């Protein structure tokens, strides 16, 4: 996606490109953090987001594994996450392991589909939207109160 980035350098480069045509004195810069992204995504919806992304990209196979197998393995891994804390063992029933590459993939796929309407709204308003995992950067030429109102709406949408 052209709204996701992997480095600060990429943010600066894209922001510079956007600013040459859209930056004005009243432009607002806004950062948003998606709180507890890895643990807030329901497990079933997370696996469905991977399936949806594979379909969206028309991927049928990765590394010799068919997409059906990838989905079954993803479901198995996410549903069978156990951890110990203070001498007790727990079964994680929501979200995924913070250090797992699978959880990162789930988070990125989930956010990609969740944010599409938000991105469209920002870009249709002449704004700029970027995301690095759970950190969002927005520039927009809206009045302050309108941006705050929209962020409140998005927060309610994301819950």
Position 98 scores a pLDDT of 86
* 2 occurs within a structural domain: no
Q: What is the mean pLDDT of residues 15-35?
A: 92
99 burial type by CB count under 10 A (0-12 exposed, 13-18 middle, 19+ buried): exposed
Residue 136 resides in a domain:
yes
Per-residue pLDDT at 154: 84
Average pLDDT for 53-71 = 97
Residue 20: pLDDT over 90: yes
Whether 126 is in a domain gets the answer yes
- DSSP H or E run through 89: strand 88-91
Q: Is 142 within a domain?
A: yes
The more confident residue out of 133 and 156 is: 133
Rounded to the nearest 10 degrees, how much is the dihedral formed by the CA atoms of 8, 107, 114, 9?
10
Q: How many domains does the chain have?
A: 1
Residue 1 lies in a domain: no
**Strand pairing partners for 103?**
none
Burial environment of residue 41 by CB neighbours within 10 A (0 to 12, 13 to 18, 19 or more): buried
Mean pLDDT of 60-83: 96
C-alpha 145/C-alpha 58 separation (Å) is: 41
pLDDT of 159: 46
- pLDDT score of 157: 66
Read off the pLDDT of each residue in 27-53 and give the average, rounded to a whole number. 94
114 domain residue, yes or no: yes
pLDDT at 84 over 90: yes
- Containing domain of residue 133, as a range? 8-158
Element (H or E) spanning 33, and its range? strand 28-33
CA dist., res. 31 & res. 131, Å (int): 10
Query: Does residue 22 belong to any structural domain of this protein?
Result: yes
Residue 109 in domain: yes
Which pLDDT belongs to residue 153? 87
Radius of gyration (C-alpha) of the chain in whole angstroms: 18
**C-alpha distances out from residue 81 to 49, 110, 139, Å:** 18, 19, 38
pTM of the model: 0.86
Under DSSP, the state recorded for 87 is T
pLDDT of residue 28 exceeding 80? yes
Q: Is the pLDDT of residue 4 over 90?
A: yes
**pLDDT at site 158:** 57
For 152, which DSSP code? H
Contact 90, 59 (CB under 8 A): no
């Amino acid at each position: 996606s052209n709204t996701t980035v992997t480095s600060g350098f990429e943010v600066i480069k894209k922001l510079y490109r956007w600013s040459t045509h859209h930056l004005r004195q009243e432009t607002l810069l806004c950062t948003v953090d998606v709180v507890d992204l890895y643990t807030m995504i329901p497990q079933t919806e997370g696996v469905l987001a991977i399936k949806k992304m594979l379909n969206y990209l028309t991927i049928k196979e990765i590394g010799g594994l068919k997409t059906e197998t990838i989905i079954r393995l993803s479901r198995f891994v996410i549903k069978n996450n156990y951890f110990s804390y203070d001498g007790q063992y727990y079964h994680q029933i929501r979200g995924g392991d913070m250090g797992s590459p699978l959880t990162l993939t789930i988070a990125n796929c989930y956010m990609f589909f969740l944010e599409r309407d938000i991105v469209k709204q920002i870009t249709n308003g002449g704004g700029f939207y970027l995301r690095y995992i759970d950190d969002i950067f927005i520039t927009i030429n809206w009045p302050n109160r309108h941006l705050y109102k929209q962020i409140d709406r998005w927060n309610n949408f994301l819950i």
